[in-house]
Amino acid sequence: MASAIEVNRLTKRYREVVAVDDLSFTVRPGRVTGFLGPNGAGKTTTLRVVLGLVTASSGAATIGGRRYRRIPRPLREVGASLEATSFHPGRTGLDHLRVQATAGGVPRARVPVVLEQVGLAGAADRRVGAYSLGMRQRLGLAAALLGDPGVLVLDEPINGLDPEGIRWVRSLLRALAAEGRTVLVSSHVLSEVEQAVDDLVVIDRGRSVYQGPIGGLVPAHPRVVVDADRRAELAEALGSRVVGATDEGALLVEGIDVGEVGRIAFSAGLALTHLSAETRGLEGGFLELIRGAES
Amino acid sequence: MGRSVAAEFLRVLSTRIWWILALVLFGYAAFVAAFLALFLGDLGTLLGGGTNLPPRSVADLVYSTATSVGYLVPVLLGALIVTTEHRNGTLTPTLLAEPRRGVVVAGKAIAGAAFGALYGIVGLLASVGIGAVVLAAGGGDPLLGSAETWGLVVRALVAMAIWGLIGVGLGGLVANQVVAIVLLLVFTQFLEPILRLVGAVWEWSAEVGKFLPGAASDALVGAGLFGSLGALDPSAAGMHSVALSWWAGGLVLAGLAAVLLVLSRVTTWRRDVA
């Protein structure tokens, strides 16, 4: 059983700026947890506190009940990939992993295994300076997987990947969680990770604005888009349920579903030119949350 | 601890700078040693120049070029061991693999000392190897059978190892690679030579100047270009040439390394890595 990540009343202050503000959440094993928020929301700072790189002003972050710095051979328990730029440009990908394996007490035999796993075996002998951003992401993932850890912390692992690479990372995340591992993956774009995550922790300006299963993020007030040639009559028939209009002038209706809108129009004798549920989906719910936090 | 030291060796060996520095050191020390051996040895006398320095002084002067001109190389590598990590953001993976920062610093210090000693070997191969050949070519005695020569060799290795430590301490304190390199160049190539030169003018300042790191290093090794100025150039004969004993020089140098390492550990090495 892999360890859980627990962030407990974490606050990080930099002189005047509060980067993380009394943040608490738990990341459970066997699930992929998306850590979302706009750029500058405090995601990276939080992850760096979890990994012992940054000291918290107050509160704590633990993995399996221990602070990262107290874990004897952390690479064997926690794999992390933070930035695609944290490599010496003059060192080969192979040597980077060899250094990490040596420093982390991970058997050298793991190096070719993870290189194969991320699809970098062919480029292992090239200097990282010659790698594309996508290749660096893959090398970062290889380093995270090196110790075969039960816990994975990945900061924006999809940045810079091509569509094929994005699909690959998504399926990798799913596979890791299916093996019972704890997977925490940050992103500033929900749609990037939407198909791969089970749970979400959404933060904005250092504060938690949503925690729970991804299904809970659907917009609180689903709306229907409807239009007819005789738009004014349609609006009259729908009455106070019309809450606005789209850019094209179609009516936005709230409080009733698509079927009910169709029945109302039919009984009023109006032929509809458009009828659909508004497709804001999860991204809409996500944006709604962040907008809500702003106001 | 062993893992950190092994990883540090790999970090250095997997990039190019260490052997580039070794080549530069070999070439530079060989050139200066050959030059001195040529003009101060019997070959110089044959050519109509030369000095009346005893063979012991000439040999010490020639062989000590490994440290007197070469010490910049281990201190530079030591500084690079730390500042490269700041420059490339590799401190993050380093601290993920070993979050105990004291262990990381100790690993870097040991690697710095070891590479310092390695550069000592490279520098001595150049200064003793080339220097002895040139001395012997003029019919002089290169004194390779003398215990004093081998004492100098051992003390030179110790000095180079300590210079590696000083580099790791300085690099750790400064963190910024460009600043560290500029500081090192300005101090070792400009500031310290001037201070030692000016310091030699009065007796009291010479007493202070002997504690400068380069002077302490020359004292530890037992010879250096600077201490011999008076002997080389008659116009400098009036200068006060004061040196620490070899063990006091070693203590001053080791003390400087210890102070820098401890200072860096309690300041820059404590910082958040963002």
Tens digits of residue pLDDT in A139-181: 999 999 999 999 999 999 988 888 999 999 999 999 999 999 9
A52 touches chain B (CB under 8 A): yes
CB within 8 Å: A75 and B96: yes
CB within 8 Å: B10 and A95: yes
Chain B residues close to A68, C-beta within 8 Å: 99
- Min Cα distance A69 → chain B (Å) is 5
Q: Let me know: does B128 contact B32? Beta carbons within 8 Å.
A: no
For A97, nearest residue in chain B (alpha carbons): B93
CB within 8 Å: A102 and B3: yes
From CA A224, how far away is CA A276, in angstroms rounded? 6
Helix axes B213-221, B147-174, angle to 10 degrees: 150
* Region of B72 on the Ramachandran plot (φ > 0 left; ψ -120 to 50 alpha; else beta): alpha
CB within 8 Å: A45 and B274: yes
Q: What local confidence, expressed as pLDDT, does residue A289 receive? A: 73
Q: What local confidence, expressed as pLDDT, does residue A192 receive? A: 80
A100 touches chain B (CB under 8 A): yes
* Nearest in space to A174 (alpha carbons), one of A152, A196, A145: A196
A10, A47, A53, A75, best to mutate vs chain B, most B CBs in 10 Å: A53
Lowest mean pLDDT among A28-42, A97-111, A254-268, B174-188: A254-268
* B127: three-class secondary structure by DSSP: helix
Of A53, A91, A102, the CB nearest to B273: A53
A279 touches chain B (CB under 8 A): no
Token pair of A132, please?
């594309």
Q: Let me know: does A7 contact A25? Beta carbons within 8 Å.
A: yes
CB within 8 Å: A53 and B92: yes
- Min Cα distance A23 → chain B (Å) is 19
Evaluate the CA torsion angle B13, B16, B17, B21 in order and state its sign.
positive
Residues of B in CB contact (< 8 Å) with A are 3-4, 6-7, 10-11, 14-16, 84, 88-90, 92-100, 272-274
Of A45, A83, A100, the CB nearest to B97: A100
- Min Cα distance B1 → chain A (Å) is 9
CB within 8 Å: A98 and B99: no
CB within 8 Å: B272 and A54: yes
A282, pLDDT greater than 90 = no
Chain A residues close to B93, C-beta within 8 Å: 86-87, 96, 100, 143
CB within 8 Å: A69 and B100: yes
Of B15, B89, B95, the CB nearest to A91: B15
CB within 8 Å: A68 and B99: yes
Q: What local confidence, expressed as pLDDT, does residue B237 receive? A: 54
A165 touches chain B (CB under 8 A): no
A233 touches chain B (CB under 8 A): no
Q: Model's pTM, two decimal places?
A: 0.87
- Give this complex's ipTM: 0.90
- pLDDT values of chain B reduced to their tens digit, one per residue, 274 residues: 899 999 999 999 999 999 999 999 999 999 999 999 988 877 777 676 666 788 888 899 999 999 999 999 999 999 999 999 999 999 999 999 999 999 999 999 999 999 999 999 999 999 999 999 999 987 888 899 888 999 999 999 999 999 999 999 999 999 999 999 999 999 999 999 899 888 888 888 888 888 999 999 999 998 887 766 555 554 555 566 778 899 999 999 999 999 999 999 999 999 999 8
DSSP code per residue over A233-294: HHHHHHGGGEEEE-TTS-EEEESS-HHHHHHHHHHTT--EEEEEE-TTHHHHHHHHHHHHHH
A34, pLDDT greater than 70 = yes
Q: In what order do the strands lie in the sheet with A242-245?
A: A242-245, A251-254, A223-228, A272-277
Q: What local confidence, expressed as pLDDT, does residue B229 receive? A: 57
**How, if at all, do strands A182-187 and A151-155 pair?**
parallel
For A76, nearest residue in chain B (alpha carbons): B97
> CA-based Rg of chain A, rounded to a whole angstrom?
24
Of B7, B90, B272, the CB nearest to A55: B272
- Min Cα distance A85 → chain B (Å) is 7
DSSP code per residue over B154-186: HHHHHHHHHHHHHHHHHHHHH--HHHHHHHHHH
CB within 8 Å: B7 and A87: no
For B90, nearest residue in chain A (alpha carbons): A86
B96, B110, B270, best to mutate vs chain A, most A CBs in 10 Å: B96
